[in-house]
Amino acid sequence: MKPGRFITFEGIDGAGKSSHLDAMAAWARERGHDVVLTREPGGTALAERLRELVLHAPMDALTEALLVFAARRDHLVQLIEPALARGSLVLCDRFTDASFAYQGGGRGFSLEVLGRLEDWVQQGRQPDLTLWFDLPAATAAQRRGAVRAPDRFEAQDLAFFERVSAGYAQRASAAPERFARLHAQGERPAVWAEIQDVMRTLAWW
């Protein structure tokens, strides 16, 4: 049996990661992988309910951090860990790096507390690979355009997303063996070619 693998997709809103998730799922299925496509916050019935609250209900920064990690705990226990144990390839739209980038960078919430939640909730589980769709916050804002009913994150200003980007950069420099930085301001086929290069360099395929 092939070992399970856990790949996360990260980047600020408007970085274009979601369209590549589907392409990656199709690419991996063609190569015989059992693929589980999921997202955070979310991925289970309970975590999807928590997602609604995190995206739309006013709350303080600690509550927000606790809810994203509560959703993550349920997601890990119910879906991610069983899928990895079966040998599946788990492709996840955002994971804990988003908490460090959005709650830590964007909101300015304690990185130390986030680190403790990470240890507590994940018990050592980390992605095998994180594809980081990096692009200037101003370019991402143009791509997002005017969202009709923005959620609590989409409604933030450019300075917030610049702090989120800096949060991602900090996480990437702390775990360079896990992160692949993609030049996400490029055209879609160029970004896809970068992803293919990353996948080719891994021995898993």
* Residues within the interface to ligand TMP (CB under 6 A): 13, 39-41, 68, 94, 98-99, 102-103, 153
Cα–Cα separations (whole angstroms), residue 105 to 97, 138, 147? 10, 17, 23
CB of residue 99 to ligand TMP, shortest distance in Å? 4
**CA 88 from centre of chain:** 18
What is the distance between the alpha carbons of residues 196 and 116, in angstroms, rounded to a whole number? 34
CB of residue 157 to ligand TMP, shortest distance in Å? 14
**98/131 with CB nearer ligand TMP:** 98
Residue listed under structure tokens 């997202």: 39
CB of residue 200 to ligand TMP, shortest distance in Å? 27
DSSP 82: H
DSSP 1: -
Cβ neighbourhood burial of 201 (10 Å; 0-12, 13-18, 19+): exposed
CB of residue 132 to ligand TMP, shortest distance in Å? 14
CB of residue 205 to ligand TMP, shortest distance in Å? 26
Cβ neighbourhood burial of 173 (10 Å; 0-12, 13-18, 19+): exposed
**4/105 with CB nearer ligand TMP:** 105
What is the distance between the alpha carbons of residues 40 and 102, in angstroms, rounded to a whole number? 13
CB of residue 123 to ligand TMP, shortest distance in Å? 17
**6/153 with CB nearer ligand TMP:** 153
**15/28 with CB nearer ligand TMP:** 15
The reply to whether omega before 41 is within 30° of 0 (cis) is yes
**16/41 with CB nearer ligand TMP:** 41
Phi, psi (degrees; rounded to nearest 5) at 143: -65, -40
**136/204 with CB nearer ligand TMP:** 136
Instruction: Tell me which residue of 98, 23, 87 sits closest to 55, measured CA to CA.
Output: 98
